[in-house]
Amino acid sequence: MSESKYQLVLGFETHIELSTNSKMFCGCPADHFGKVPNSQTCPVCLGLPGALPVPNSSAIEWCIKLGLALGCKINLFSKFDRKNYFYPDLPKGYQISQYDQPFCYEGQLTLSSGKIIRITRVHMEEDTGKLQHAEVDGKKVTLVDFNRSGVPLVEIVTEPDFSNPDEAIEFLKEVQLIVRYLGISSADMEKGSMRLEANISVRPIGQKDLPKFKIEVKNVNSFRFIKKAIEFEFDRQVAMLNSGKTPVQETRGFNEDKGETFSQRSKEDAHDYRYFPEPDIPPLRFSNEQVDEWRNSLPKLPGQIRGDLISRGVSQEKALILVSDPDKLHMITKLVQKDIELTKAVDMIINSPSDISGDLDKIILWAKQKETISVSTSELTEVVAKLIAANPKAVLDYKAGKEQSLFFLVGLIKRQLGNIDISLVRRAILDLIK
């Protein structure tokens, strides 16, 4: 991003597809990836007349648990609403979502710098179908696959609190990790089970008010590209403002080859969607006891684990690596159970060669060998020098051709230094004798 008198204003909407068994409002399987098109549909998720939605209670529970993990308050009274718009992948002509009573609101996540990112809300909705552009009998056509229609989707909305793309990426990676710790989604960006929308604008440094315009960049499916898209947008908007123009409120895509965003359509305001309460689903009520039960059932989250590690002497950098690798964490726990000190166990797991990284016994052996070697160099040379000086006869014998004398010297050194690599000792002795 170029230097300028403007600062970035950046917030995110993140969609997470839940990996429940069934869809949000019907019994069709929710796992749609790679399935025969339209093989997992029914009257409800095809939006046929007369079909009635029945909410998936696991999906609701998972959405609320995610909200709790993100420090949200929970609405004890909540409801679904219809978000009305037409698009061929939306068979009912509306999406069942949540408008003014989302399940979760006012959460927050703290970045490693200590900066707090406010989370506006975490709500539940349903996914749309998928359009596929293809050629059939020489004609360009668009096909619709409704396998994804009605899959449970959680939307996490943040306040525009990010000052730069790196903060955003740290936040998004943490959300991805939390979702995976909760076991509620693969949160795989390439497969589309985690999808990002960045709301990007700029304002003069020092201005408190938000800009009057907001550009939404959609369909960016990697952290690397989202960073590029933000940087490109910042420069584009600053250039426009510098030449006296105001960027228009719109939705833009991202061209990965060019590294540029491009205009897709003008952006709707919330009132354009004519939200109203979903009449086919009664409002939902939760008790404080229920919410407490969900809160208490949360697993240890990445932030807590990292905090534990750091408070026990592990560096922040290493804690970061470990928390995103549950297998490594598990092995460290096992080493600690074997009475190996935590910081030592961490180093063993992080530094062990990749070809033995899954094998605890081999790692322990490797660490032992490494320890013996670490005694060597200067310390070894010193010990050997003293020993040779104290045993001139053995040296003379060896020089006269008595191999045995060398073993004798090696044995003395082993007795003094303990478990040590014999070939290193031999070399040290021979170097000094010559």
| Chain contacts with Mn ion (rule: CB under 5 A) | 155
26 binds Zn ion (CB under 5 A): yes
Q: Structure tokens of 137? A: 């009998």
How many Cβ atoms sit within 10 Å of the Cβ of residue 44? 21
Contacts of 246 (CB under 8 A, 6+ apart): 212, 213, 240
CB of 195 to Mn ion, least distance (A): 9
Interatomic CA distance for residues 25 and 42, integer angstroms: 11
Number of residues that bind Zn ion (CB under 5 A): 5
Q: Which is nearer to Zn ion, 43 or 88 (CB)?
A: 43
- The answer to whether 145 and 132 have CB atoms below 8 angstroms apart is yes
* Residue type, position 118, single letter: R
Q: Which is nearer to Mn ion, 40 or 98 (CB)?
A: 98
Q: Using CB under 5 A, which residues numbered 236 to 265 contact Zn ion?
A: none
Q: Structure tokens of 400? A: 């006269």
Interatomic CA distance for residues 74 and 158, integer angstroms: 16
Q: Which is nearer to Zn ion, 151 or 406 (CB)?
A: 151
Picked from Zn ion, Mn ion, none, the partner binding residue 215 (CB below 5 to 8 A depending on kind) is: none
Q: Which of 4, 13, 37, 42 binds Zn ion (CB under 5 A)?
A: 42
CB of 253 to Zn ion, least distance (A): 29
Q: Using CB under 5 A, which residues numbered 62 to 81 contact Zn ion?
A: none
| DSSP 3-state of 328 | helix
Q: Structure tokens of 66? A: 């995610």
Q: Using CB under 5 A, which residues numbered 44 to 63 contact Zn ion?
A: 44-45
CB of 186 to Zn ion, least distance (A): 21
Q: Which residue is nearest to Mn ion (CB)?
A: 155
| DSSP 3-state of 279 | coil
Picked from Zn ion, Mn ion, none, the partner binding residue 155 (CB below 5 to 8 A depending on kind) is: Mn ion
In sequence order, what E strands does 205-287 have?
Answer: 215-220, 250-255, 260-266, 276-277, 284-285
Picked from Zn ion, Mn ion, none, the partner binding residue 194 (CB below 5 to 8 A depending on kind) is: none
Q: Which is nearer to Mn ion, 4 or 249 (CB)?
A: 249
- The answer to whether 348 and 361 have CB atoms below 8 angstroms apart is no
Q: Which of 9, 28, 59, 168 binds Zn ion (CB under 5 A)?
A: 28
Q: Summarize as ranges the residues that interact with Zn ion (CB under 5 A).
A: 26, 28, 42, 44-45
